[in-house]
Structure 1
Amino acid sequence: MEVLQWRTHLNPVLAAATILILIAWMIILFKRQRASRSLKQTVLLLFPKVLIVLLLILAYFDPVRSVIQKPKRDKKIMVLVDSSSSMDCRDEPGASRADRASKLSESLTGQLRSYVDFETLRFDMDVHDADDSEQSAGQVRGTNLAKSLVTIAGKADDSNYLAAILLTDGGDELLSDPRLPRVPLHVASLGTSPDTWNDLSITEVDAPAIVEAGGKLEVSADILARFASKEFETQVPMVRVRLEEKQQDKWQARGSEFVRFDNPKTRARFSLQAPSEPGTKQYRINVENMPGELSGLNNIREFDLEVREDTLHVLFFAQELGWDFSMIRKELARDPSVQLTALFRVSEQRFVVQGSRQKGDEQLEAGFPKSKGVLDLFKCVIVGSFSARQWHQDQLNALLDYVRDGGAVVFLGGENSFGQGGYAGTPIEPLFPWRINNAQSAFQVGRFSVDVPAAALGNSIIAETARIIAQVESASVESVNIEGPLKSGAVTLLDASVAGRSVPLISMQRFGQGQTMAIATNTLWKWRQVSDELKDAHGHFWRQTVKNMTGWEEGQRFIAVKWDQEQYNPGQSAVATIRIAGRQDAGQLNLTAETKVDGKLTPVSVEPVLGRENTFTAEMEFAKSAQYRFELQAMLGEQVLESYQKTIAVGTKLNEGANLEVDHAFLSSLASQGGGMYFPETEFESLIGTLRSQILSRVVSMEIPLIQDKCIYILIFVAILVLEWIIRRRMNLL
C-alpha cells in the first residue's frame, strides 16, 4: 500500500506568498510575450516555463511516497483450546464453555486471518489436532495442563510462531514452575461467577495418605451448596454422600450417610476399617447428583490411600508447643510413613491432642497415659522440656515400663530438662544416658560449636548429619545442658565444645528391650535457619532417629531415598537421591533399580554423585497415568544390604472437574510467567486488539522523497529544458 504525504519545510504564509509571486510572474510574462506573438506561440513558449514553476513548487512542498508493506506470513499464532469434560459445563444460558471457546477462537482467526496464519489445537490429557475425532460424550476427558504446556513448549518457538493463545477454564490443579513456550503465552479464561450457579460440590477431602493395614480409617469431606435459585434450594433438603472403594475396576460402597444444608457448607464423616492387604487403594467421595445441578463432575473427589502393614506412630508430649515441636513436625511430615501425634497442656487439667489419631488414643485427651497399654500405640515418644513436678508417679512408671518392653523415648533439652528439671531420683532417671544431679546440673546459653565423635561416624542416625557438618564452615548450638558423665553402655552421637572441653550434646543408650536418647539443647531447630545444608542435616537426623531407635524398617534403615517431588503427572521425570548410611566400601557397594508398570519391567540407571560418598541418583520418566512400582536393591559384595520399594501413583491429584471455579489469580500468574497477558472471556476483544497491535508492529514502512526517487525529478526537469529548446528552435528563436 502506498500513500502520498507532503512535508513542506516553508512557513505556510511564506509558501502561499511564493506561489502568488510565481503566478504573478507568469501572468506578466504571458502579457509581455502576447504583445509581440500570436496566442499559439505565446502558449508554446510559456508551457515549459509553467512546467518548471510547477516543479519548483513541488520541490518546495517535498512530497514523500510512503510505502507500507504487509508483514510477512512467516510466523503463525498457536491457539490451544481446552477440550476436557469440564468445558462441557453450561454455566451460561444456552452455551457451554466449549461452545464459547469455539466462538472466541473463530472470532480471533476471523479478525486476524488477513495478517497471520493460525494453528488450532485442542488438549485434554494430551494435545491433539483440532480436526481429530472427539471422544464419546459419556467418557470423561481429563485435564493435564502441565503435560500440554510441555508439548507446545517443544513446538512453539520464536522462529515459527508469533504467540500462543490458551483458551481454558484452568483445570483442577495449580502448576508450580511449569515449562512454557518461548513465545508470549496469552491466556483467556472460560467460566462465569459461581454466584450464578445451582450446584453441589466437594471442596475438600480429609483422609490420611498412609494407614496401617486393618487399622481405623477416618475420612471426612466438606460439601458446598450454591443456590442461585429458590427452586433448586427447595429440591435439596438433604443429599446422600457415599464413600466408595475401587475393586476390580468397579466402585464398591464402603459407607453412606445423608447430609443437610442448614448452612451452605456441611461435612460428611466416615469411620471404617482399613483394608488388610497392603498396597495403594483407590477411594472416592460421591455426592448424589441432583436435578438442575450445574455439573456432576465436582460431586466426585477421588483420592489414593497407601495401606501398609506397619506405620511409625510418634507421640510428642510437652507442656507447650514451641519452635522445637514446629520444626520436628515439619521434618517428620516429609516422610509419609511417619504419623506424628502431639499432646500438650493448655491448663492444669486440660490437654489438647493434635495431628494423627488412631483407635484407642482417646485417653490422651485426659493427659499423658498412666498405663503402658496406651503408650504401646506409639513406636516412639518425644518428651519436651518441663519440670518433673508436673508428672504423676503412675505416668513416670508407665513411661519406664514402655521403654523396658521395647519402646523408644527421646528427651529434649532446655531449662527444665534433666537435672535442671529435678529428674534425679525419679522413676525415669535410669532412662537418661548420663548421670544427673539436681544440684550440679547447669543450663548455659551462648554459641557452642559441635562435632561428631570418631566413634559415632558409622552410626546410621548421625552418618549423613556428620557428612554435612564436615562440609559447612561451622555448626553450632546456642544452648547446652551440662550433665554428669555418660553411663556405662551409652554412646555420644554429637559433642559440643564448652569452655574448651567436649560435652555430650546427643547421647543414647539401651534400656531393657528399648532405647532412649537425650538431646542436651533446645536450639537444634535453629539449624534450619542457618543454611540449606544444616536444614538438611536437621531433617535427616530426626527422620533417622525415629526409625533407627524403633528398629522400624521400611527400606530406609541403611537406604535413605529423597524424591524431588511428592506427586508426579504423566510426562514428568522423577529424580531420586539415594544415600547409604554407614561407611561402606565403595568398591563393594552396588545398587540396582527398576520400575514395573502393567507387568513390564524397565531398568533404572543408578549413578553416583561426584564428591558425595555413598550418594547416588536415579532418574525415571513417567509416560502415562498408572501405578509405578520402584524397586531398589543395595548389595554389599554378594550380600544384600537392604531393599527398598515404593509405589508411585502417577496422575493428577484431583479428578476431572473437581474445581469448576476459574482461578483467575493462577491463570493471570501463568500468563505473566509466559510473557503474555491474561483476559477473562468478557475481555477477549482486548486480546484480539493486543495481538493486532503486535502483528502491525511488524509492518515495514518506507518513505521515499519524490524528488529523489530514481532520479525521476531530474529527468523531468531535463526533459522540460529539451522541450523548450525544441520549441525555440522550431520558432527560429535560437
Structure 2
Amino acid sequence: MIGMLIWKPHLGTLANSLIILLLMGWLCLLWYRYRSRYTTRKTTLLLAPKVLFTILALIALMDPAWRNAKPTDDSQKVAVISDISTSMDVEDDGSATRARRATSTMDDIQAGLKGIASVERYRFDVDILGGEDDPAEGTRKTDLGKTVVSLSEKPDLSDCKAAVLVTDGGDEIIRSERHGAVPIYILGVGTDPSTWDDLEISNTDIPEEVELDTPFKVAADIVVHSASEAFARKAEDIEVQIEKRVDGQYEQLGAMTVDPGKNNGRVEFDLPAEKTEGVYHYRLSVKGVDGEMTALNNTRDFEVDIREKSITVLLYGNMLDWNFAMLKREFSDDATIKLTSVYRKNAEVVLIDGARQEGDAVFSSGFPGDEEVLKLYTCIVLGSFPAEFIGPAALEALRKYVEGGGNLVMLGGPKSFDKGGYYGTAIAPLIPWKESRDARGISAGQFPVIVPPEGAGHGLSSATAAILDGVTAPVFYSVNKVGERRSGALSLMNASVGSEIVPIVALQSYGKGQTLGVATDTLWRWGRMDGDISSAAHQFWRDSIRYLAGEIEGGRFLTVQWDRKRYRPSEEGHAEIGVVGRYAEGEVHLKGTVEHAGTTQDLSIVLKDGNDFQTEVFFTDRGDYTIKLEATLAGEPLDSYERVIRVGSNVSEGADLAVDHPFLENLAARSGGYYQREADTEQLIQRLKAMLMTSADPHDTPLVREPDLFGLLPIYILLVMGVLLWEWILRRRMNIV
C-alpha cells in the first residue's frame, strides 16, 4: 500500500498568500481588541475558536486529499488464458494431466491476486475462445501465434493490465513480430522428458514440395525417453511404418524395424513418384510400447505438395555442331527439364531425341507451321541456321507462339541473326537487337565479359554474374557483332569488342512472351576450364530456362526476395524488391496489395537505395495471402508480380511434447512480461503483484468533502459546527453578547 497527503488548492499561489496574510492580520486585530477589554486568559479563550475556524477555512481553501495507490478488484483486471489443446491432456507427471494442473494453477493465480485485480478466465487452442465457444471435436491443435495476435485485437482483452498464458508451448517455434500493449506472462506446464517413459518421432526431414513424377525421401529419428530400465528394454526394437491417404483411408507404403539406440534411431523411406499434381497426405507412425506415457507423439501427419515443375524445352537445330551438342547435354542432365531435341543427321534424315510430346512427330517433316504444336513447349531454343530452313508459315507460327506467352531462345553462330536472314522474316520483332549495318556472322577471339548493373541484379543472370565476379578477366571466345539493343530490351551481359561495348546476352518481351538472345556459340567452353568459371555456363543455362519458365521469382524488371519460405500466424514477412535497369532514384514507382480472406490492404513499400525497395507483410491468421506488386515508369506500367503465400503449420498436434523453455521465455520477455515454469507459480504471482501495485491508477480521497460520519455528514462540516458551538458556549458563560 502506498499513501500520501497531497494539496489541491483552488486558487493560485499569490491569491492563497494574500488570503493567509489577511486572516493572520484579522487574528492580530482581534487579539489586540480582546486584550484591551479582557484578561489574557479570557482573550485566549475567546480567540481559540476563531483560530481553529481560520485553520479549517485554510484547509478548505487548500483542499487536501489522501492519495492511495493500492489497487482494488474493480480497478484493474488480468486475463488468465489456459491452453486446452490435445497435448494438454497428457499425464506427464504420473498423477494429473497438464490441463488439470493448469486449472489448479489458474485457481492459485486468482487467489493470489484477490483484492488487487479481478481475474478473467479464458481458453485457447488455435485462437482465444469466447465464453460460449465450444472447443473443436477430436484433436485440438495449438496456434500460439494467432493467440498472441488476438490479445491485442479483442476489445475485452486489450484493456487488461496483463495476460497470463498457461500452456505447454505448442509444437513449433514462432517468430511473433508484433505484440500489443498488454504484457504477456507465460507459465510453462510440462515435466522434464527424462522423467517419461515414452516414444517420440523427432527430427523429421520431410519435403514440403516435390516435383511431379519424382521419387522422394522421408526421414526421422525415433527417440526413446526411458525413466525406467524396464521400459528401455521394451523399446529396443520399434516398428515404424509410413502410409498414404487414399480415398479417406490410409494405405501402407513401407515399414521397418529400428533400434533407437543405434544411429539415433534414424529411419528413411523412399516414396514413389506421384503421377498427378495435388496435395498428398501421409502418415509416419511407430507401434506403441506398453507402459508409455502417451501415443500422441507416435504419429506424424504431414502433407507434400506435388507440383508440375518440369519445364518442356524444344532444342531445334540443323546439324549437330559443338554448341548444339554441348547444350543438348546440359539440358539433358537437368532433371527439371524435359528436353526434346530435333536436328538433321544428314540432308535426308531428321532425328527427334529425348522426351517425346504427343504430336511432336510433325518435326520429322520440318519446323511446323501450327502454333498449337509449339505450345507443347515452355521454351523453344533455336540453333544457328538460315531462316529459310524453317519457312515463312512456321516463322509466323513462332511469332504468334511468343506473342501468346511462349519463350524463345536464339543462339549465336555463323548463321544467326543478320547472317541467318532473320531480319526479313516474321520473327524480326522478337530479336532483342536492331539489324546491324555491318553483319559479320561470328567472330572468334577473346572478348572481355562486362556485366552491366541491370545484369548483376536480374533474376536470370545475377547468380552467373556473382560467379564471374570472382573470376579473373573472364572472356567470350566468340561473338556475333549484333546491332544496337532495342529500346525495350535488357542487356544482361556485354562484351568489349575493340572500342565498342556489344550486348551479347539480351532479354526482350514481346506480347505475353519473351525472347532471350545469346550472341555467342562458345559459352560451353567455360565448363571445360579450371576454377570457378567452370560452373558459370551451367548456372547461366539453368537460370535462363527457369526464369523464362517463371520458376525464378520476379518479372522482367522486378526481382523479389522473401526472407523465408514458410510463415506462421503472428510472423512478419520481409521482401527485398529490386528494379532492374538504369533509372534515376524515384523515377520508378511501386505499389502493392495483400489480399486475405476477402479483404485487400495496401502494402507499405519503402525506398531503400536507388531502385531497391522493401516491404513487410504481417500475417495475422492462417490461410492464403495473395501479394501483388506493380511497377510504373512515368505513369506507364513497367512490370508486375504476384505470389500466393500459404500461412500455417505443417506439424501434428503433440509432435513435440517437451516444453521449449528458452522459446517461451523469449516470447514473454519481448512482450514485456516474464516466464516461469509450473513449479515456480508463486514467483509468477509475486511478479504480477509487483507489476499491479506499481501500475495501479492512484485514487484521491478528498479530506474536506469525505469521509462521512455514519454516512450522514462529512467530518469537516461537523468540526466547523463544533467550533461554532464551542464559541457560543464560551460567550454564554462569559456573558458576552
What TM bracket, shorter-length normalisation? 0.5 to 0.7
Question: In structure 2, what is the equivalent of residue 245 of structure 1?
Answer: 244
TM-score by length of structure 1 reads 0.56
Equivalent in 639, 654, 658 of residue 657 of structure 1:
654
Do residues 547 (structure 1) and 543 (structure 2) align? yes
For the Cα contact (< 8 Å) 1:460–1:581, is it kept in 2? no
Give the Å deviation of 1:650. Answer: 4.5
Question: In structure 2, what is the equivalent of residue 488 of structure 1?
Answer: 480
1:219-230 pair list within 5 angstroms: 219-230=218-229
1:337-348 pair list within 5 angstroms: none
CA distance in 1, matches of 2:683, 2:304: 46
For the Cα contact (< 8 Å) 1:184–1:676, is it kept in 2? yes
1:641-680 pair list within 5 angstroms: 650-680=647-677
Do residues 305 (structure 1) and 304 (structure 2) align? yes
> Cα–Cα, structure 1 residues 489 and 662, in superposed 2: closer, same or farther, change >3 Å?
farther
SS of the equivalent of 1:292 reads: coil
CA distance in 2, matches of 1:143, 1:100: 18
Q: Per-residue CA shift, 1:430-473, capped at 9, x if unaligned? A: 9xx99998xx9999xxxx995459xx99x9835x999xx9xxxx
For the Cα contact (< 8 Å) 1:225–1:264, is it kept in 2? no
Which letter does structure 2 place at the counterpart of 1:487?
Answer: V
Give the Å deviation of 1:665. Answer: 0.8
Question: In structure 1, what is the equivalent of residue 423 of structure 2?
Answer: none
SS of the equivalent of 2:174 reads: coil
CA distance in 1, matches of 2:606, 2:664: 40
Which letter does structure 2 place at the counterpart of 1:205?
Answer: T
Give the Å deviation of 1:232. Answer: 1.3
SS of the equivalent of 1:265 reads: helix
For the Cα contact (< 8 Å) 2:448–2:496, is it kept in 1? no
1:626-641 pair list within 5 angstroms: none
Which letter does structure 2 place at the counterpart of 1:246?
Answer: R
Which letter does structure 1 place at the counterpart of 2:211?
Answer: E
Question: In structure 2, what is the equivalent of residue 87 of structure 1?
Answer: 88
CA distance in 2, matches of 1:723, 1:643: 97
Do residues 290 (structure 1) and 298 (structure 2) align? no
Question: In structure 2, what is the equivalent of residue 71 of structure 1?
Answer: 71
Give the Å deviation of 1:515. Answer: 6.6
Give the Å deviation of 1:193. Answer: 0.8
1:295-374 pair list within 5 angstroms: 295-311=294-310
Give the Å deviation of 1:596. Answer: 12
SS of the equivalent of 1:149 reads: helix
Give the Å deviation of 1:263. Answer: 4.4
1:183-262 pair list within 5 angstroms: 183-262=182-261
Unaligned runs of 5+ in 1: 6-43, 314-369, 382-400, 409-429, 470-475, 525-537, 584-590, 635-640
Question: In structure 2, what is the equivalent of residue 323 of structure 1?
Answer: none
What's the RMSD between the two structures over aligned residues? 6.3
1:501-520 pair list within 5 angstroms: 509=518, 516=524
Question: In structure 2, what is the equivalent of residue 688 of structure 1?
Answer: 685
CA distance in 2, matches of 1:569, 1:4: 50
Q: Per-residue CA shift, 1:387-446, capped at 9, x if unaligned? A: xxxxxxxxxxxxxx99xxx999xxxxxxxxxxxxxxxxxxxxx9xx99998xx9999xxx
Q: Per-residue CA shift, 1:595-617, capped at 9, x if unaligned? A: 999xxxx7989999899999999
Give the Å deviation of 1:309. Answer: 3.8
For the Cα contact (< 8 Å) 1:555–1:643, is it kept in 2? no
Question: In structure 2, what is the equivalent of residue 269 of structure 1?
Answer: 268
Question: In structure 1, what is the equivalent of residue 102 of structure 2?
Answer: 101
CA distance in 2, matches of 1:649, 1:4: 57
SS of the equivalent of 1:671 reads: helix
Question: In structure 1, what is the equivalent of residue 375 of structure 2?
Answer: none
Do residues 164 (structure 1) and 163 (structure 2) align? yes
Do residues 142 (structure 1) and 138 (structure 2) align? no
For the Cα contact (< 8 Å) 1:555–1:644, is it kept in 2? no
Question: In structure 2, what is the equivalent of residue 10 of structure 1?
Answer: none
Give the Å deviation of 1:621. Answer: 8.1
TM-score by length of structure 2 reads 0.56
For the Cα contact (< 8 Å) 1:555–1:645, is it kept in 2? no
SS of the equivalent of 1:214 reads: coil
For the Cα contact (< 8 Å) 1:489–1:509, is it kept in 2? no
Give the Å deviation of 1:701. Answer: 6.8
Unaligned runs of 5+ in 2: 6-40, 57-63, 313-325, 338-352, 355-378, 382-413, 415-440, 486-490, 507-516, 583-590, 631-637, 707-714
Identity %: 24
Which letter does structure 1 place at the counterpart of 2:84?
Answer: S
CA distance in 2, matches of 1:236, 1:71: 56
Give the Å deviation of 1:123. Answer: 0.8
CA distance in 1, matches of 2:604, 2:162: 42
CA distance in 2, matches of 1:3, 1:482: 80
CA distance in 2, matches of 1:180, 1:482: 51
CA distance in 1, matches of 2:496, 2:175: 43
For the Cα contact (< 8 Å) 1:435–1:483, is it kept in 2? no
- Which stretch shows the higher mean deviation, 692-701 or 108-117? 692-701
> Cα–Cα, structure 1 residues 117 and 499, in superposed 2: closer, same or farther, change >3 Å?
farther
SS of the equivalent of 1:291 reads: coil
Give the Å deviation of 1:554. Answer: 4.7
CA distance in 2, matches of 1:257, 1:620: 43
For the Cα contact (< 8 Å) 1:245–1:251, is it kept in 2? yes
CA distance in 2, matches of 1:170, 1:557: 35
> Cα–Cα, structure 1 residues 3 and 134, in superposed 2: closer, same or farther, change >3 Å?
closer
Which letter does structure 1 place at the counterpart of 2:334?
Answer: F
Give the Å deviation of 1:273. Answer: 1.6
For the Cα contact (< 8 Å) 2:460–2:547, is it kept in 1? no
Give the Å deviation of 1:165. Answer: 1.1
Q: Per-residue CA shift, 1:358-377, capped at 9, x if unaligned? A: xxxxxxxxxxxx9x989944
SS of the equivalent of 1:256 reads: strand
CA distance in 1, matches of 2:169, 2:717: 61
Which letter does structure 2 place at the counterpart of 1:664?
Answer: H
SS of the equivalent of 1:205 reads: strand
> Cα–Cα, structure 1 residues 502 and 191, in superposed 2: closer, same or farther, change >3 Å?
same
Give the Å deviation of 1:79. Answer: 1.5
> Cα–Cα, structure 1 residues 241 and 682, in superposed 2: closer, same or farther, change >3 Å?
same
CA distance in 2, matches of 1:605, 1:729: 89
> Cα–Cα, structure 1 residues 486 and 497, in superposed 2: closer, same or farther, change >3 Å?
closer
For the Cα contact (< 8 Å) 2:82–2:123, is it kept in 1? yes
Give the Å deviation of 1:693. Answer: 2.5
Q: Per-residue CA shift, 1:110-154, capped at 9, x if unaligned? A: 232433222221111122135644444xx1100111112212211
Give the Å deviation of 1:94. Answer: 1.4
